[in-house]
Amino acid sequence: MNLSVKLILSYSAVFRLLIIGLVSLVTAVSHLHSQVNPKISTQQDPKKISIHSENNQVIDATTDPATQYLNGDVKVYHAGTFMFCDSAILRGPDLRMHFNVVLLQNDTIRIFADSLSYNGDSLVAYLYGDIILENGLSKKLYTTFLKYDVKNKIAYYTRNARLVDGTSTLLSRRGKYFLNEKTAYFYENVKVQGDDFDLISDSLSYNTITQETRFLAPVRINKDTSRIFSERGWFDLDDKLGDFIGNAQYMEGKTTAKADTITYNGKLDLVILKGDTIRSEYISEKDTAYAKVIYYDKKNEIFRLTKDAWYKGEKNEVSGEKIFYDKKTEKFNVSGRSKVSDPPSIIEADTLDYDKTIKYGKADGHVVWRDTSAKTAIIADHVLYKGAENYMKATNDTGRPLFTTDIDGDTLFLKADTLKSFRVIKERIIVPDKNAARKAKNFKNKMTEPIEKLDITADDKLGKLEILSSDTIQNDSTLQTSDTLIAKISTDTIFTGIMDTIDYFIGDNNVKMFKSDMQAVCDSLVYNKSDSMFTLLSAPFVWSDSSQIAGDTIDIFMRLKKVDRLVVRSEASILSSEDLIFFNQIKGRFLEAFFKESKIYRMDVDGNARVVYYLTDKEKAYIGVNTTEAANMSFFLKDNKITDIRNYGEPRSKVIPMKTADHDALKIKGFLWNIDKRPKTTGDL
């Protein structure tokens, strides 16, 4: 073959290669043109990745599909997502981007990375390097590896990540972020750091809009010196509010709390304990509370306890179905069968309001109000108490309220239609003694006049009488007196300027009293706490053993919680009988009885005194009746039996045989044996 033929063949080969190159170039340009116009590309093949701009491009057409090398200000669009970088390699649906990678979706999702690997068919991107995922202006996720589902907008990480949302930071080893739902899930070594707390768990979810964290595993929150633990629940990082559910526990210093659920409000400093399977408990140095539900407002120091509630403070102990307690004001409100211990007071009721600050109490329903120091109690349907005035009112819907007090180791029971107490503050005034003249005269009579002593144990004699001289009187220690004592009887009113506080207790209407050795009835009763004196008004009757004492008014004086004296003012009478057939009788205007060891050992009767006394022999058979009238009389007793009777001021005495005595005519004026009214047991009250 000659040279010319060889040259022709060589040019032919070059030309063929040039033609092939031009065809390839035209094909590439056409392909590039379709990519520059996304509308055309999308209409023709929506799976294809659209290139918007680049500074330069190199296409390797030898690969199938062709490989495109993009450099400088690369902008790529696909499936509603823009991606930017400094350089990229595109081959069919596979895209790799390097340096200053940015992925944009909508107006809120932005992901920054060092490099990216993206598949247009699966719509999944893998990002590497220093990654920042932004979902809004204040929410940023930091990690070094991220798998991102472009279609569903879900980010996955497995190499530790940190989510920053305002003042809160969430850390975990792995997790996933649903950007559409604004919810992230964190797993393994999860820690949430707030502005004033730390939260530790192994698994939780977080809503970036509500900032609500839900615990998918046991969790612990540390805040200053406090700790909260639970098995599950939720917590709002912004509002510092949440529910801790399942074996929930709260600890702060020496304070502990346990419940099935603990609701915590950090802004209000509020803790709510709820128990479904257990009774919630709150224990601190000063407070102990048990209930199904415990509400504690720590800022305002308010407790609300519901269902099977019990509270004990430094000074108070309360139980009930529901308890409200304000520690600052020491105000209680208790419903359901409740008990409040505020020493020395202990109150039980179905519902109860008690404000210690203003000393106000209102108890309703089977009320039991005890004063442990005074050893007194009130049992009623309703009790109203105003401590500042020492005012109390006890009433019943059915039946009558009951008052009890300890007297000489025994219990006095008292009932009336209404029980009241109140306080009076008034000036101490010494007024003239209306009985001063009578007392002075009596003293002189007892000093100068003879005394008739009655032997009440006569056997075969009818009324042996013994006349005693005035010397005997002066030598009797029980009757000694002096001129100075008489001179002290005041006849002038004295205003002392001293203000006395007097507390009164009143039984109003149909009063009945029972004590093992004394019983009484009257229309109304007043107890003066200052004088320790019971005053029985309006037809009072008092019984002791076989004796009945009556008069217009009866005063019972107490001393050291024991009966000391009994005074009957106007129309005083004493009746006693061994067989309820014949009655020993004493009558006078004024009677005073003196007690020792709860027994009468002496009685003085002043003013037209009269005695009717049945005489007995040694076998206690009646042998006669003695009647004596005198200005004044004194009776001496031992073991509730009269041993001596002494008469003063020209006594007139006679003894009548039993056979000739008109027993009805011998009865004193106003004789009334009211034994049917005598309470025999507490059940008769």
What DSSP letter does each residue of 161-194 carry, written as one string? Answer: EEEEETTEEEEESEEEEETTTTEEEEEEEEEEE-
- Asked if the model's pLDDT at residue 504 lies above 70, the reply is yes
Q: What is the CATH number of domain 37-155?
A: 2.60.450.10
Of 5-9, 31-35, 63-67, 429-433, the poorest mean pLDDT is in 5-9
Measured CA to CA, the distance from residue 128 to residue 50 in angstroms comes to: 23
- Asked if the model's pLDDT at residue 464 lies above 50, the reply is no
Measured CA to CA, the distance from residue 167 to residue 237 in angstroms comes to: 9
**CA dihedral in degrees (484, 488, 489, 491; nearest 10)?**
130
Beta strand extents in 431-537 (DSSP E only): 451-454, 465-468, 494-515, 518-528, 533-537
Which comes out higher in pLDDT, residue 4 or 282? 282
pLDDT at position 357 is 75
Query: Rounded to whole angstroms, what are the CA distances from 96 to 64, 149, 185, 265, 596?
Result: 17, 16, 28, 49, 114
Reduce the DSSP state of residue 423 to 3 states and report it: strand
Confidence of residue 438 (pLDDT cuts 50, 70, 90): low
Is there a contact between 41 and 34 (Cβ–Cβ < 8 Å)?
A: yes
- Asked if the model's pLDDT at residue 449 lies above 70, the reply is no
Bridge partners of 111, per DSSP, are: 103, 133
Domain ranges across the chain:
37-155, 445-478+532-684
- Asked if the model's pLDDT at residue 454 lies above 90, the reply is no
How crowded is residue 340: how many other Cβ atoms within 10 Å of its Cβ?
25
Six token digits for residue 245:
């559910």
Measured CA to CA, the distance from residue 241 to residue 261 in angstroms comes to: 13
Give the mean pLDDT of the chain: 81
- Asked if the model's pLDDT at residue 253 lies above 70, the reply is yes
- Asked if the model's pLDDT at residue 495 lies above 80, the reply is no
Q: Half-sphere exposure of residue 551, counting CA atoms within 13 Å on the CB side? A: 24
Q: What is the CATH number of domain 445-478+532-684?
A: 2.60.450.10
For 41-97, the pLDDT digits (tens) are 434 455 688 888 778 888 988 888 899 999 988 999 999 899 999 999 999 999 999
Which comes out higher in pLDDT, residue 649 or 57? 57
Query: Rounded to whole angstroms, what are the CA distances from 439 to 434, 435, 629, 631?
Result: 10, 6, 19, 12
With a CB cutoff of 8 Å and minimum separation 6, the contacts of 580 are 673, 675
Which comes out higher in pLDDT, residue 147 or 458? 147
Confidence of residue 154 (pLDDT cuts 50, 70, 90): very high
- Asked if the model's pLDDT at residue 2 lies above 70, the reply is no
Confidence of residue 544 (pLDDT cuts 50, 70, 90): confident
Domains 37-155 and 445-478+532-684 share a fold: yes
Of 40-49, 194-203, 395-404, the poorest mean pLDDT is in 40-49
With a CB cutoff of 8 Å and minimum separation 6, the contacts of 536 are 511, 520, 522, 524, 525, 542, 553, 554, 555, 556
Query: Rounded to whole angstroms, what are the CA distances from 655 to 11, 54, 371, 650, 662?
Result: 182, 148, 54, 17, 12
Mean pLDDT in residue range 371-375: 82
Measured CA to CA, the distance from residue 330 to residue 327 in angstroms comes to: 5
pLDDT at position 442 is 54
Bridge partners of 647, per DSSP, are: 452, 633
Measured CA to CA, the distance from residue 323 to residue 200 in angstroms comes to: 35
Beta strand extents in 516-621 (DSSP E only): 518-528, 533-537, 541-544, 547-550, 553-559, 562-576, 584-596, 599-616
Measured CA to CA, the distance from residue 49 to residue 139 in angstroms comes to: 29
- Asked if the model's pLDDT at residue 191 lies above 90, the reply is yes
Instruction: Let me know the angle formed at the C-alpha of 183 by 178 and 185, rounded to the nearest 5 degrees.
Output: 85
Confidence of residue 187 (pLDDT cuts 50, 70, 90): very high
* DSSP codes of every residue in 77-119: EETTEEEEEEEEEEETTEEEEEEEEEEEETTTEEEEEEEEEEE
- Asked if the model's pLDDT at residue 273 lies above 90, the reply is yes
Of 264-273, 426-435, 556-565, the poorest mean pLDDT is in 426-435
